[in-house]
């Protein structure tokens, strides 16, 4: 099954303390969101991916903010089951192709989308979604590029997620609101599970 069809919302997570990774992942899964993108923005990210992969098998954990071939190798080695990049260069997409795991390359312009589609890549991350044009922009792409589907990420909120999910070319959205930093720091897993359940019910 496509990554875009596993859940309506993919939590985009920044983890400062790897010790929070497993209870956070369990709370997200309990709320109905089994796909988790851990961004490589902190020193704890790779250890967090490894812990989730080992201890929460019901979660599909991936690595985000993939920018280099080293990021790819380290993430796959840690147990990432998919990869997400904020943008795409030729060398990066070639490395992603060779990674052995599914991936969502980032694109923000029609030309970038067309270049990836020429390579047979029809499922993409649209980033930064709100800043790059949001719902109206993606709606305008569905006419000339009806065979390309997106996971828009960046600036999406609970109140706007449903508008994205209503588009025919959107499979899911990425959201950072599901794991607030204060909830992770406080170990408030009930709050995380509640946010996940609300997001899972969006579609």
Q: 188 is in which domain, residue-wise?
A: 3-201
Asked whether residue 1 carries a pLDDT value surpassing 90, the answer given is no
User: pLDDT of 47-63, one tens digit each?
Assistant: 999 999 999 999 999 99
**% of the chain beyond a pLDDT of 70:** 100
pLDDT of residue 203: 85
Residue 152: which of 93, 199, 104, 198 has the closest Cα?
A: 104
| Strand order, beta sheet including 149-152 | 106-107, 123-126, 149-152
pLDDT digits (tens, 9 = 90+) for 112-155: 999 999 999 999 999 999 999 999 999 999 999 999 999 999 99
- pLDDT at 70 (0 to 100): 98
Q: Calculate the average pLDDT of the chain.
A: 97
pTM: 0.97
Report residue 171 as tokens: 């499979």
pLDDT digits (tens, 9 = 90+) for 75-112: 999 999 999 999 999 999 999 999 999 999 999 999 99
Task: Return all residues near 133 (Cβ < 8 A) that are at least 6 apart.
Answer: none
Q: Which residues are catalytic?
A: 37, 125
3-state secondary structure labels for all residues of 109-159: CHHHHHHHHHCCCCEEEECCCCCCCHHHHHHHHCCCCCCCEEEEECCCCHH
Q: Burial-class residue 153 by CB neighbours within 10 Å (0-12, 13-18, 19+).
A: buried
Number of structural domains (the chain) is 1
Is-contact 40 70, C-beta < 8 A? no
150-200 confidence digits (pLDDT tens): 999 999 999 999 999 999 999 999 999 999 999 999 999 999 999 999 999
CATH of residue 123: 3.20.20.70
């Amino acid at each position: 099954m496509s990554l875009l069809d596993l859940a309506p919302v993919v939590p985009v997570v920044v983890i400062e303390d790897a010790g929070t990774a497993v209870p956070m992942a369990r709370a997200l899964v309990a709320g109905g969101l089994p796909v988790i993108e851990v961004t490589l923005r902190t020193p704890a990210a790779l250890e967090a991916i490894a812990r989730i992969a080992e201890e929460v098998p019901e979660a599909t954990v991936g690595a985000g903010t993939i920018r280099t071939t080293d990021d790819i190798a380290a993430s796959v080695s840690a147990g990432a089951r998919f990869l997400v990049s904020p943008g795409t260069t030729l060398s990066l997409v070639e490395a992603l192709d060779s990674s052995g795991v599914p991936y969502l390359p980032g694109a923000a312009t029609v030309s970038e989308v067309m270049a990836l589609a020429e390579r047979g890549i029809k499922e993409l991350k649209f980033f930064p979604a709100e800043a790059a044009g949001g719902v109206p922009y993606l709606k305008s792409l569905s006419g000339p590029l009806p065979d390309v589907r997106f996971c828009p990420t960046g600036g999406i909120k609970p109140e706007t997620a449903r508008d994205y999910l209503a588009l025919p070319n959107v499979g899911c959205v990425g959201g950072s609101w599901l794991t607030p930093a204060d909830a992770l720091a406080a170990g408030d897993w009930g709050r995380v599970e509640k946010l996940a359940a609300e997001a899972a019910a969006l579609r």
